[in-house]
Amino acid sequence: MTSTAYSGRDFADLADAQIAQFFGDAEECSGQDDAPLIKAAPYSWPDPASIPRRQWLLGRWLLRGEVTAIFAPGGVGKSTLSTAIAISLASGRDLLNQPPKGQVGAWIYNLEDAPEELDRQIAATLLLHGVDREECDGRLFVNSGITMPLCTASEEEGGPTINEAAFVQLKTTILREGIGVVVIDPLVSSHRVTEASNEAIDAIAKRWKRLAHETGCAVILVHHTRKLMGREATAEDGRGAVALRDAARVVLVLNKVSASEAESLGLTDPKIYRSLVKVDMGKASRAPDETTTWLKLEGQSLGNGDDLEPPDFVGVATLFDKPDVFDGMTTWHLYRVQQRLEERDWRDSVQAKDWIGKLVAEVTGLDASKKSKDIGRIKAIVKEWKRTGALVVDHRTDDNGDTRPCIAIGKVVDPSECGSPHLESKGAEGAESAVA
Q: Based on the domain organization, do 336 and 312 belong to the same domain?
A: no
Burial class (CB in 10 A: 0-12, 13-18, 19+), 395: exposed
**What pLDDT, on the 0 to 100 scale, is given for residue 206?**
97
DSSP one-letter code for 89: H
Residue 8, domain extent:
1-33
Question: Do 13 and 111 belong to one domain?
Answer: no
Q: Is the pTM of this model over 0.85?
A: no
In this prediction, residue 230 carries a pLDDT of 84
Same domain, 89 and 13: no
| pLDDT at residue 369, as a whole number | 87
pLDDT at residue number 322: 85
- For residue 357, tell me if it sits in a domain: yes
Residue 265 vs residue 301, higher pLDDT: 301
Residues 314 and 341 reside in one and the same domain: no
Assess if residue 45 is contained within a domain: no
The answer to whether position 348 is within a domain reads yes
Q: Is residue 157 part of a domain?
A: yes
Residues 294 and 350 both lie in one domain: no
- The answer to whether residue 50 sits within a structural domain is no
For 97-127, write each residue's pLDDT tens digit: 999 999 999 999 999 999 999 999 999 999 9
Strand, coil or helix: 338: helix
Residues 78 and 224 in one domain: yes
Give how far Cα 178 sits from Cα of 65, 110, 134, Å: 14, 19, 17
User: Looking at 293, 319, 345, which one is the last position of a domain?
Assistant: 319
**Closest by Cα among 352, 374, 353 to 363:** 374
- What's the pLDDT band for 261 if we cut at 50, 70, 90? confident
Q: What is the pLDDT of residue 4?
A: 43
pLDDT number for residue 436: 30
pLDDT recorded at residue 407: 95
> Within this chain, do residues 109 and 254 fall inside the same structural domain, yes or no?
yes
Residue 178 and residue 136 share a domain: yes
What average pLDDT score do residues 223-231 get? 91
Judge if 278 and 376 occupy the same domain.
no
Residue where a domain stops, chosen among 319, 339, 357: 319
What are the tens digits of pLDDT across the range 49-60? Answer: 999 999 999 999
Q: Say yes or no: 201 and 349 in one domain.
A: no
pLDDT for 416: 80
Q: State how beta strands 218-224 and 67-72 pair.
A: parallel
One DSSP character per residue, 312-332 reads PEEEEEEE-----TTTT--HH
| Domain assignment of residue 39, yes or no | no
What is the end-to-end Cα distance of the chain in Å, rounded? 75
Task: List Cα–Cα distances, 156 to 151, 162, 206, 425, in angstroms.
Answer: 14, 10, 18, 73
Residue 230 in domain? yes
pLDDT digits (tens, 9 = 90+) for 4-43: 444 444 545 555 555 455 445 444 444 555 667 889 999 9
Both 297 and 421 in one domain: the answer is no
- CB burial string 226-259: b at 16+ within 10 A, e below: eeeeeebbbbebbbbbebbbbbbbbbbbbbbbbe
| pLDDT tens per residue, range 405-432 | 999 999 999 888 776 665 544 333 333 3
18 domain residue, yes or no: yes
pLDDT above 70 covers a percentage of the chain that reads: 86
Total domains present in the chain = 3
Structure confidence at residue 13 (pLDDT): 55
Of the ranges 195-204, 247-256, 374-383, which one carries the lowest mean pLDDT score?
A: 374-383
Specify whether 29 is located in the same domain as 144. no
Q: What is the CATH number of the domain that holds 279?
A: 3.40.50.300
Q: Is there a contact between 193 and 163 (Cβ–Cβ < 8 Å)?
A: no
CB atoms within 10 A of CB 20: 12
Q: Strand 67-72: give its sheet, edge to edge.
A: 140-144, 105-110, 179-185, 218-224, 67-72, 250-256, 276-284, 293-301, 313-319
Residues 79/145, Cβ–Cβ less than 8 Å? no
